[in-house]
């Protein structure tokens, strides 16, 4: 969330941000509502101050006639205050709804564009495998090796359901355990948080209101998270931290849930797009410094690249264009892994920084060296998401005899160097 003072003072900049991110919002209406809000609140403050004065006078007055006059005045003020408060309620509700839709300002390096098709490649790593046989897709390979069962997954869950079984499950655990050891060496503290959260936490990260159709909701008006960033940020709600604690680095693990409501007809087979998955996430809090955010953004992106390199999976990095940025993101990189059978890269990681957009909503503050309270900056990046990562890993490491070679980095966690 942006500060309303910043919005008022930089209205044209915010309008340009909304245009760049393809977010439709009437910012002139927001300013008009804010004018009305400020006017009524100023009146209310004046009347409440007068009410306090009259209340003091009543307490100090012994003359009955004057006391009755003051009580009448008090009752009149009370009625006016109640009337103003009722007048403020709908204005405040509209104002808050619009404030939740105001986009963050993208970095100057973010390119223009309408969708992920306009993202710009900034790095390529790894050599794509050259097969002397016709490569298969992960569905065929894993099914033949009894690593996955889509038929029973669909029977139990429905569309996009799956079971990872045998070596499919073991390979997932191996990747998670490798990720845990890898990021522990990078100074990240592990955290396991709730996967069912209150609505406020999804508003805090910016996943609501704009992504409502993609979020699972319970009958108790709670929500299932689509990333452990949500509950990890919620952990610090209303906290006042010390600057000396920064940067706070968490490696968060959780089951994740997404309805994939806008993807009917896309990736209907396999493990690319499923409703339930598991994700290891880098979540970072730092001081309110653009320079610190940029440095950490490059660092957490490099962490995920190094992890992919350890797995030996070819990938490229793209910088997301304005139309492919989320509401709260200042800048985002996607790491996309090579999928041989499709002959293209598919997203496996997203790395973003937000400045104080999320921390304002969560009220996460810290005391700087001068003792002044400031909102922290936040960042996050996928460490690894499964089962999606299995798609590129299995297809890149498939062998002519139908077996799968295991990357050397995973062998100590998996226990063998081949599946087949």
d(CA 161, CA 274): 7
Catalytic sites, residue numbers: 258, 273, 347, 350, 388
State in Å, rounded, how far the first CA of the chain is from the last one.
51
In sequence order, the β-bridge partners of residue 350 are: 334
**Alpha carbon separation from 369 to 287, 355, 376 (Å, rounded):** 11, 19, 14
Indicate the burial class of 110 (C-beta count within 10 angstroms; 0-12, 13-18, 19 or more). Answer: buried
> 267-289 burial, b for 16+ CB within 10 Å, e for fewer?
eeebbbbbbbbbbbbbbbbbbbe
Q: How far apart are CA 23 and CA 17, in angstroms?
A: 8
175's torsion region: left (phi>0), alpha (psi -120 to 50) or beta? alpha
Is residue 286 within 8 Å of residue 377, measured between CB atoms?
Answer: yes
CB 95 within 8 A of CB 34: yes
State the Cα–Cα distance between residues 202 and 194, nearest whole angstrom. Answer: 13
Tokens of 319: 């910088």
Beta pairing, strands 163-164 & 240-242: unpaired
Burial class (CB in 10 A: 0-12, 13-18, 19+), 89: exposed
């Amino acid at each position: 969330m942006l500060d309303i003072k910043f919005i008022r003072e930089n209205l044209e900049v915010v309008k340009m941000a909304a245009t760049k991110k393809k977010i439709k919002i009437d910012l002139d209406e927001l300013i008009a509502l804010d004018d009305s809000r400020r006017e009524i609140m100023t009146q209310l403050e004046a009347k409440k101050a007068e009410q306090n004065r009259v209340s003091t006078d009543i307490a100090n007055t012994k003359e009955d006639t004057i006391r009755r006059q003051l009580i009448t005045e008090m009752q009149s003020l009370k009625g006016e205050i109640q009337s103003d408060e009722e007048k403020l309620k709908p204005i405040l509700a509209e104002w808050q709804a619009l404030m939740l839709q105001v986009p963050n300002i993208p970095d100057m390096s973010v390119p223009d564009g309408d969708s992920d098709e306009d993202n710009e490649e900034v790095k390529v790593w790894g050599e794509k495998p050259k097969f002397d046989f016709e490569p298969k897709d992960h569905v065929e390979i894993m099914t033949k090796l009894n690593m996955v069962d889509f038929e029973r997954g669909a029977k139990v869950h429905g569309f996009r359901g799956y079971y990872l079984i045998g070596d499919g499950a073991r390979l997932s655990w191996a990747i998670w355990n490798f990720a845990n050891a890898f990021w522990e060496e990078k100074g990240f503290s592990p955290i396991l948080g709730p996967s069912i959260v209150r609505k406020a936490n999804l508003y805090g990260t910016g996943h609501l209101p704009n992504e409502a159709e993609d979020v699972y909701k319970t009958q108790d008006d709670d929500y299932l998270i689509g990333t452990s960033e949500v509950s990890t940020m919620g952990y610090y709600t209303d906290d006042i931290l010390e600057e000396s604690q920064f940067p706070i680095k968490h490696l968060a693990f959780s089951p994740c849930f997404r309805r994939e409501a806008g993807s009917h007809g896309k990736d209907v087979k396999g493990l690319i797009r499923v409703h339930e998955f598991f994700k290891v996430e880098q979540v970072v809090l730092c001081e309110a410094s653009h320079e610190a955010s940029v440095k950490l953004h490059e660092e957490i992106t490099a962490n995920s690249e190094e992890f992919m390199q350890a797995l030996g999976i070819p990938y490229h990095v793209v910088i997301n264009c304005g139309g492919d940025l989320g509401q709260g993101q200042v800048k985002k990189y996607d790491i996309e892994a090579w999928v041989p059978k499709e002959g293209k890269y598919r997203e496996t990681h997203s790395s973003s920084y937000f400045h104080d957009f999320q921390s304002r909503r969560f009220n996460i503050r810290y005391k700087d060296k001068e003792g002044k309270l400031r909102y922290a900056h936040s960042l996050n990046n996928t460490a690894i998401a499964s089962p999606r990562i299995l798609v590129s890993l299995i297809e890149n490491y498939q062998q002519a005899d139908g077996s799968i070679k295991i990357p050397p980095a995973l062998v100590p966690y998996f226990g063998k160097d081949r599946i087949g």
